[in-house]
A and B are shown apart, each in its own frame.
Chain A
């Protein structure tokens, strides 16, 4: 009788398949997703918050900041390469990651597992928010690149609606969370903080950063709804401003 040639165990017909050692490209796409979250998206996020912070100085300063940004060389190219496309990729691939994971925080309600789930939900909030934000603030309505002076009023109108205000506040919280935990995850998953103690310390640092960013973000929102700049002018730098008016824009209108 011949020795049986069949495999010794019934082959796995279902269930998780073994590692495809060294094969496929998912490593690259996943690492790209991870990296983009920090640079440029994270960097841009910080820049955006800093810019928004100018709103606390009033519509003119805010308008000037918007103008400055829009005056950068190759600004449209920069905008697409370093902001829109990375965010689009990070968001869509993030959703892809989400649907492939099976969250089980119900059974294992451990801190890291909650964070895992939170990172996905905050990511979802972020991408939905960013979608409407970019559409309504960048592409719809008054074109800010051409009318940077209209920036303050445009945002102020938006935040006049309590619903939109709530959306902005929630999104600000979610994005600050997503970003600061994202930095922490990046450090852990890229081997920058392998040890438990290092991770815990860096966790405090990320938490502090997230908190500062959140305060800055909420303060900027406050600038738009505070009584101080109520009913800001529709455009602090009217077309005449293009004619190299020497007077301060705000003064010009006031005058």
Chain B
């Protein structure tokens, strides 16, 4: 029997981590990625990666990391996998260190750690302000090594379209589109690991990269996979508003002492430097004295939202507040934050070492995702998921610097489990469903390419983004969510009249985008309707009409499944594993 073949879809941290584990164990991997893997969205992570190594003599432990993560996620995360992740984190940092990640160091040559949101410990290892980039490169280099040895084959510039599922409901491969030649092909595999990241594009402008459309997750969702906790979307408190996207201003800016404030007077006319301390409203520090500027992201985001929209204190009446680093000396800033300060300087034109940055919350992270069991497998046998595209590790809100560790941990776990699954898989009957799936995809492509209509997919997408951002981000009202769902239905209908300005069969980006857009539309209903059903406030999900957490009714995982009907997805709720830490009220206001 030939060596089992695994397909990994997505070449970010989770995907690469999975590939490394499989290649190391002697498996054969085909790695699919829309962009060259070194350009995956993981490069954007800035601040750091959490691990309770307690190198600062604070008495930090993996248990405290576990507690912070569960508490930060408002108890929605299943505790068994989170506990395992927190316990594995220190070894992951060591491994990354061995792989050559240029982590910042203490004078003695040991790893340096800084403090991040939602914790009182210095637990975040970092490589300047480009930690994600450095981590991704380290894994990319290891994969390149396996590629050079012939153990990994990369399919860069290919987009995953669907899974190939046999008559028994088991995965047998995938179909994918070559984005250059527009060729549609199916590829066989004994197991598939999906590691396709977040769904930022559904919100139009976000901090996510262009490829983070959620298209692959949606395709699987439409093929019968559960999508879990879709309503939990992290809105990052500090983003730089832009024409094309929202650029992240890392939490590390606050970790290194950055202070968020607005002038106390709405009509403040004095230049910034002449505003005395007494007239500056450091609202996070006043409202949350213990955590100060380092409250979890959902809390900070809602505070900024409140200051701007309820108190009317946005800068010059605009939805923006100051993130101030000017009290820290330049040398320190350059040493620890240069990367992110350059981003601000480059894209805004002001030097944040001299002038406080103007920031506003923006869609940032997808806590929800493919439902998976504790073995990272979706409900479709043979399809695994790891990284941001699955739902397991962050509950209702992700703590800063936990995403990198969850991606790598998820990837490392899924790889060997998928390999073990693949080894025990019986041979497929017939063609394993390849022919039928290929025909289905070919038909979809043909219909889209020949469709006569008047709608431009990029315009539909803008409308989707505006609707989702308005109704399904920081503050949610059932009325608004209903309106958003109606809007999505309207957009789905208009999608039937989509007209591609480009019908060529060579590097046709509108065609690829239109396929993604349809998937975005279908998936956004799981987000909106999931939010609609959850009449409580928990973590990032906040409804002013239901401001309290309701454990009795909603300490449950939302599981959406695709129906294909006009009503949208079907929902069911699953008990949350809370065997280690009893849910308690979540509040960061204590002194």
Contacts and interface: CB of A to CB of B under 8 A. Distances in A.
Q: Do chains A and B touch in the complex (CB under 8 A)?
A: yes
A2 B172 CA distance: 11
Contacts of A8: 153-158
A135 B379 CA distance: 87
A9 B187 CA distance: 15
Given A10-B180, A10-B181, A3 B156 contact: no
A4 B180 CA distance: 17
Contact of B156 (A1, A2, A9): A9
B494 interface: no
Given A8-B153, A10-B180, A10-B181, A1 B158 contact: no
Interface in B158-179: 158, 173
Interface in A1-21: 1-4, 8-10
Contacts of A2: 188
B434 interface: yes
B153 A1 contact: no
B186 interface: yes
Give the interface size class of chain B: 20 to 34
Contacts of B188: 1-3
Contact of A1 (B180, B181, B186): B186
Interface string B177-201: 0001100011111000000000000
B302 to A, nearest CB: 45
Interface string B142-161: 00000000000111111000
Contact of A4 (B154, B156, B185, B431): B185
B30 interface: yes
A1 B164 CA distance: 11
B5 interface: yes
Q: Is the interface of B mostly helix, strand, loop or mixed?
A: strand
Nearest to A8: B155
Contacts of A3: 5, 30, 187-189
Contacts of B432: 1
B154 A1 contact: no
Interface string A130-152: 00000000000000000000000
A1 B155 contact: no
Nearest to B36: A9
Given A8-B154, A9-B156, A9-B157, A1 B30 contact: no
B431 A1 contact: yes
Contacts of A4: 185, 187
A174 to B, nearest CB: 42
A15 to B, nearest CB: 14
B434 A1 contact: yes
A9 to B, nearest CB: 6
Nearest to A10: B180
A1 B155 CA distance: 18
Nearest to B30: A3
A8 B153 CA distance: 7
A4 B155 CA distance: 11
A12 to B, nearest CB: 13
Contacts of B157: 8-9
Contacts of B156: 8-9
Contacts of A10: 180-181
B16 to A, nearest CB: 16
Contacts of B173: 1
Contacts of B30: 3
Contacts of B154: 8
Nearest to A1: B434
A167 to B, nearest CB: 51
Nearest to B153: A8
A176 B153 CA distance: 54
Contacts of A9: 155-157, 180
A84 to B, nearest CB: 47
A8 to B, nearest CB: 4
Which of A1, A8, A10 gathers most chain B CB within 10 Å?
A1
Contacts of A1: 173, 186, 188, 431-432, 434-435
Interface in B408-424: none
Which of A2, A8, A10 gathers most chain B CB within 10 Å?
A8
A3 B156 CA distance: 16
Nearest to B2: A3
B448 to A, nearest CB: 23
Interface in B3-43: 5, 30
Nearest to B154: A8
11 contacts: A1-B188, A3-B5, A3-B30, A3-B188, A4-B187, A8-B154, A8-B155, A8-B157, A9-B157, A9-B180, A10-B181
Interface of A: 1-4, 8-10
Given A1-B434, A3-B188, A9-B157, 5 more contacts: A3-B189, A4-B185, A8-B156, A10-B180, A10-B181
**Which 8 interchain pairs have the tightest Cβ spacing?**
A8-B155, A1-B434, A3-B188, A3-B187, A8-B154, A1-B188, A1-B431, A1-B186
